[in-house]
Structure 1
Amino acid sequence: MTSSVFLDSQILDYQQLAENVTPNSEFVIFDTTQDGVAQITQVLTARSNLRRYSDCLSW
């Protein structure tokens, strides 16, 4: 896996965004009943060899 993509389920048509995630990427749909930052932290702490993060999109 080369990257993780975090999607908020409250974004209109988030499923379409998920379909266009690049190959070798994981996508994570936020649980709207949980803290988003905590969810990102949980996913990233389970990863090894992290090199960088980028691109934060919000609507």
Structure 2
Amino acid sequence: MIDAMLYVNDNGTKWRALPVEFPDWLAAYRFFRRWRDQEDSPQDAERAIWHAYSFPD
């Protein structure tokens, strides 16, 4: 899901235009919305995404 969010952000594409290598666009978008709404600010959400992408478990 993180890769799908990064792809949309990096390429400026629409959620519905995600390539087939990614999860279903609606599932990815819902995941993003839930995560975004739990954060304190958009900057916190972006920071969390980059942190998760840079330091995988």
> TM bucket by the smaller chain?
0.3 to 0.5
**TM-score (normalised: structure 1):** 0.38
**TM-score (normalised: structure 2):** 0.39
Larger helix percent:
2
Larger strand percent:
1
